[in-house]
Amino acid sequence: MSERDVTKAKLALKKRTVKDLADYIKIKSGTTPDYSLFLGAGASVTSGIKTGQELVEEWRAEIYTRLSNKKYSDSEEAKTWLATNYPEWYDQNNEYSSLFEKKFDLPSQRRRFVELQVDKKLPSIGYAYLVELFESKFFDTVFTTNFDDLINEAFYQFSSDRPLLCAHDSSIKGVSITSSRPKIIKLHGDYLFDSIKSSLKETESLEGNTREKLTEFTKEYGLIFVGYAGNDSSIMDVIKYLLKQDDYLRNGIYWCIRKNDNISPELFKLLSQEKVYWVEIDGFDELMAELALDLGCSLSLGGNQKYTKRERMIQNFINDKYNLSTNEIINSDILRLKRQTLTHDISSLINELSQSDVDDQKIPEEDFKNLLYIDNLIRSKNYSNAEARLNTLINDADNDNIKSKYLRRLIEIKEDQKDTKSALEYSDKLIALDEFNINYVLSRTNIFTDVKEKVNYLKSLLEKFTYSISLKNHLCKIALSYLENNNEELISFKEIHEMLEKSIHQNSSLDNIAWMIKYNAIKTEYQSSYDRTECNKLLSELLDRIKEINPIHDTYLHLYSEFTCSLQKKDEILTCVETLSNIYKTSSKNKKRNILTYLTKLHLSLFEVDYNEKTPRLMKDFIDKYDGDGDIARIAPFIIFKSRYEIGCNKDINTGIKLAKEAMDSTWKNNHIDNIVEILLIDKNNIPLVEEFIENLPRDTSSILLLKLKSDISTLKGNYKEAINLIDQAFDEGWNFSDYTIRKSYINLLAKNYHETIKIANESLGKIKNYKEKDVLLINKEVAKKKDNQEITKHDIRTILSHHNSKGYVSMCAFFLLDEERNAKKQLQSLIEKDFMNYYRFSLWPAIPENALLQYKPNINLAA
């Protein structure tokens, strides 16, 4: 018999079953639970977080090797050597804390290490059961020594209840034992604070408020320990003291121990006392599942609408990396989740089918199954099998409607494979099914990568589809992207305006996107004008036309807010904010989300106007006003604004990055991916996180955007050759010329390829119409010349200053080029003071001398 078995045999009379524990939990007095949960590190293992023992093994080997100059081979030998040679800090009975303290000198270093261990980990299925137990009022409080956010995350994803989270000694004081809200009390703090406790000295004492709160709760509650080894003397001392008091722990302590776990001498002493019992379990997840079943709770996975993170969590449950399905209860629920996931895929397919305007015929069940199967193959990029199967299905199909579904998928595959020739051949077959189906005809445009080809193709259709609003709008939209960097030989602005007016004449409803396209047409036509008077006059007249039709329609609100932002006048911004705020009050929830997005953009534009001390207050008031609006306020643009406020106004980088991570998993994130990534990449340690984020974006995410983001990451890594290759690919796929050229010149500038930077600028300046973009490219060219010890063209630089009224970041760079440091530093100070995000942007710019930024460098360590 092993020592473990002997120890457990001695405690046989104190042993209870999970069924016993469920019975004790069930017989509560009234609606108040009799027990609180106490979770240790063992509850986080199946969420992918390393155990303390795993970390101890790593640290012991590293520290032993460093101090002894010997190769690590035996753990016992290393323990003995450390205990003999370093008794002043090494405690064999508390290895985790003593090694942790030796490994990391400073609290900020420990915090950063913990953050990297727990960041982006998703709760295991056990936490979903835990939420159900709380929702059924069997528990309302959980204590934990863990730094991770798994419990809170589980509530956020699977419950409509928002728990009270107490991670600081001061916050714990205000928690009421009578509150019905779920309470999460972190006894050792949160990794976002420097005061996390993990070193030996730190865990020897609980802070006053925390100790008092633990004492207060144990007067009314019993405690159920799960995944906790009992190595923190601060907590164990409090527990032992309370056990001696008749009025405390009246409902006892139930200590859950896994079948193969050893019982330490310290824990054996505790289990031998009155009111203390132990329960043998398979693990945290299994225990939660069994308690949920015995207490009549079912795994509903309710709460918020499906966020991406929630879907990833459910997918993790299904993948079952830790083989939890050996437990019958968990296996049953995983099978049910698989069925629900299949139902979700089917629902997505139904949405697609219902949106088609030729789907009057019902899709036969067999074809429905085939489409579902094909979509799964495409999702997993199993293109060869998908293509073979689709061709067989097309040959067998006798229905043009279903053939069109199959052909569209073949075109999608060929586009993904960059096989334009085959994609066009399949497009021909699609159009042949119904040559007058405008959707089939327009879909062909997506296959062409050259904008000129797109325009020519669409123009060729005008005679055949004389009255098609869709064709007119689509042609105008594509033509504008062409005219951004080309002359009017192929198509003129006059032609575009005439087509748009015909479209509006046929359908004057504000749902007609011709109104939006016309707004953009005016902007594009006047992009090279330094004087914005005429452009703004025409835009204002267009807005008046739209307003006259319906002043609360989304098209008007969208364009009105965009126009106001472009004016960069504070009074105009505040007037627009007031108008939209009033409309918000009487709008539906869906419309409120749109309006909140426009309000967010308006408040972001305050960073661009002349700064005064009232600006941060305006932003904070905006956040406070809408932050409590439930699901409406959980949209990505609003969360991103909160992040920008924390960074820009409060210089709180850690909170800003934490909010950006929240935005990663919020609704409407797909239109704000680049904003999220920009904030996350303030800290280069987030590069792996961003790479994972990019890889998990939906299939329909713009390939150009993905390539640009990957190029940004390569640039940060210093891999400039790869970064340039990625933007070359983006340009080949249709990225606009001016943005591509500016970015390419910038990366070459960073790579110190000064001659290449100058060459790119010389070849491209004549092709760029937008004066602001042209000025940026000129700055890059002149910086390259200066760094290459060539004479700069001062006349061109002074012309740039006149374009921008000697204000803003372009003027700042121009002043630095001219060695007018006083003016340059004045602009630098102004830009950083009104938006501290600019410090992180400018720190990467070759145009700005490094020493110019030193005085603004924040005295903080990044934690997130």
pLDDT band at 63 (very low <50, low <70, confident <90, very high): very high
Checking if the pLDDT of 860 tops 90, the result is no
In Å, how far from its chain's centre is CA 691? 11
| Same domain membership, residue 212 and residue 293 | yes
Asked which of 117, 140, 158 is the last residue of a domain, the reply is: 117
Q: Which of 796, 786, 791, 780 is nearest to 748 (CA)?
A: 780
What pLDDT is stored for residue 353 in this prediction?
A: 54
For residues 311 and 696, what is the distance between their CA atoms, to the nearest angstrom? Answer: 11
pLDDT band at 168 (very low <50, low <70, confident <90, very high): low
Q: Which is more confidently placed, 197 or 561?
A: 561
Asked which of 308, 323, 338 is the last residue of a domain, the reply is: 323
For residues 221 and 803, what is the distance between their CA atoms, to the nearest angstrom? Answer: 71
Q: Region 612-622: what's the mean pLDDT? A: 93
| Same domain membership, residue 245 and residue 208 | yes
Which sign does the torsion angle of CA 381, 383, 385, 389 carry? positive
What pLDDT is stored for residue 862 in this prediction?
A: 54
Give pLDDT tens digits for 587-610: 999 999 999 999 999 999 999 998
Does residue 450 belong to any structural domain of this protein?
no
What pLDDT is stored for residue 215 in this prediction?
A: 81
| Same domain membership, residue 129 and residue 23 | yes
Q: Please, what's the b/e burial string for 463-488 (b: 16 or more CB within 10 A of its CB; e: otherwise)?
A: eebeebbebbbbbbbbbbbbbbbbee
Q: Which of 473, 466, 467 is nearest to 445 (CA)?
A: 473
Asked which of 323, 348, 368 is the last residue of a domain, the reply is: 323
| Same domain membership, residue 199 and residue 107 | no
Q: Which of 481, 476, 474, 466 is nearest to 444 (CA)?
A: 474
What pLDDT is stored for residue 583 in this prediction?
A: 98
pLDDT band at 348 (very low <50, low <70, confident <90, very high): low
| Same domain membership, residue 306 and residue 184 | yes
| Same domain membership, residue 801 and residue 830 | yes
Checking if the pLDDT of 509 tops 70, the result is yes
Is the distance from CB of 229 to CB of 43 less than 8 angstroms?
no
In Å, how far from its chain's centre is CA 703? 18
Give pLDDT tens digits for 77-101: 999 999 999 999 888 877 877 888 8
pLDDT band at 208 (very low <50, low <70, confident <90, very high): low
For residues 784 and 793, what is the distance between their CA atoms, to the nearest angstrom? Answer: 12
Does residue 401 belong to any structural domain of this protein?
no
| Same domain membership, residue 102 and residue 187 | no
Give the list of residues 6+ apart from residue 634 with CB closer than 8 angstroms, or none: 304, 666, 667
Does residue 861 belong to any structural domain of this protein?
no
pLDDT band at 864 (very low <50, low <70, confident <90, very high): very low
What pLDDT is stored for residue 20 in this prediction?
A: 96
- Distance between start and end Cα atoms, the chain: 48
| Same domain membership, residue 103 and residue 12 | no
For residues 397 and 415, what is the distance between their CA atoms, to the nearest angstrom? Answer: 23
What pLDDT is stored for residue 305 in this prediction?
A: 42
Q: Which of 618, 602, 679 is nearest to 643 (CA)?
A: 679
Say which range, 95-104, 348-357, 508-517, has the weakest mean pLDDT. 348-357
Q: Region 650-665: what's the mean pLDDT? A: 93
Q: Region 24-47: what's the mean pLDDT? A: 90
| Same domain membership, residue 304 and residue 188 | yes
> Of all residues in the chain, what percent carry a pLDDT higher than 70?
91
- Could you list the residue range(s) of the whole structural domain that residue 170 is in? 3-49+123-323
Q: Region 373-385: what's the mean pLDDT? A: 83
Residue 807 burial (C-beta neighbours within 10 Å; 0-12, 13-18, 19+): middle
What pLDDT is stored for residue 777 in this prediction?
A: 97
What pLDDT is stored for residue 194 in this prediction?
A: 41
For residues 686 and 76, what is the distance between their CA atoms, to the nearest angstrom? Answer: 37
pLDDT band at 264 (very low <50, low <70, confident <90, very high): confident
What pLDDT is stored for residue 219 in this prediction?
A: 78
Q: Which is more confidently placed, 334 or 278?
A: 278
| Same domain membership, residue 60 and residue 132 | no
Contacts 24+ apart (CB under 8 A), 579-588: 583/552, 583/557, 587/552
For residues 465 and 444, what is the distance between their CA atoms, to the nearest angstrom? Answer: 15
Is the distance from CB of 401 to CB of 359 less than 8 angstroms?
yes
Tell me how many domains the chain contains. 3
Does residue 689 belong to any structural domain of this protein?
no
In Å, how far from its chain's centre is CA 101? 32
Does residue 213 belong to any structural domain of this protein?
yes
Does residue 181 belong to any structural domain of this protein?
yes
Q: Which of 129, 149, 147 is nearest to 285 (CA)?
A: 129
Does residue 835 belong to any structural domain of this protein?
yes
Mean pLDDT computed over every residue of the chain: 88
Give pLDDT tens digits for 540-555: 999 999 999 999 999 9
Q: Region 761-778: what's the mean pLDDT? A: 95
Checking if the pLDDT of 210 tops 80, the result is no
Does residue 444 belong to any structural domain of this protein?
no
Backbone phi, psi, residue 687, to 5°: -55, -50
What pLDDT is stored for residue 800 in this prediction?
A: 95
For residues 505 and 486, what is the distance between their CA atoms, to the nearest angstrom? Answer: 29
Give the list of residues 6+ apart from residue 325 with CB closer than 8 angstroms, or none: 331, 334
For residues 833 and 835, what is the distance between their CA atoms, to the nearest angstrom? Answer: 6
Q: Enter the pTM of the model.
A: 0.64
Give pLDDT tens digits for 556-596: 999 999 999 999 999 999 999 999 999 999 999 999 999 99
Q: Region 224-228: what's the mean pLDDT? A: 95
Q: Which is more confidently placed, 78 or 860?
A: 78
Say which range, 22-31, 155-164, 303-312, 375-384, has the weakest mean pLDDT. 303-312
653-664 helix and 636-648 helix, angle to the nearest 10 degrees:
170
Q: CATH no. for residue 17? A: 3.40.50.1220
| Same domain membership, residue 57 and residue 29 | no
Q: Which helix (H) or strand (E) holds 281?
A: strand 276-281
| Same domain membership, residue 164 and residue 20 | yes
pLDDT band at 342 (very low <50, low <70, confident <90, very high): low
